[in-house]
Amino acid sequence: MALLWPWSDERFFAPARPIPVAPIGLGILSARGLRVMAFEAVAFAPLFLYALWPRRRSPGGAPPAR
């Protein structure tokens, strides 16, 4: 994360990294970068599917009651 961005370009990492660190720049198109992107796609697919799942509308177009 860019914690000290305006003053430093150093990257800071948490001690535990459940998601691998992606290479910066064109390195994302390397074999390692593509592997990281594939891992992220699989890891976040359930969240994307839930967010994009169509919701039923109640009559009159009002938002559904909770």
Taking only the tens place, the pLDDT of each residue in 39-49 is 999 999 999 99
Q: Specify the pLDDT at position 64.
A: 65
Nearest to 44 by CA among 11, 23, 13, 18: 18
Residues 57, 63: Cα–Cα separation, whole Å: 6
**pLDDT grade for 63, boundaries at 50, 70 and 90:** low
The predicted pLDDT at position 38 comes to: 95
Q: What is the pLDDT of residues 15-53, one digit of tens each?
A: 888 888 888 889 889 999 999 999 999 999 999 999 999
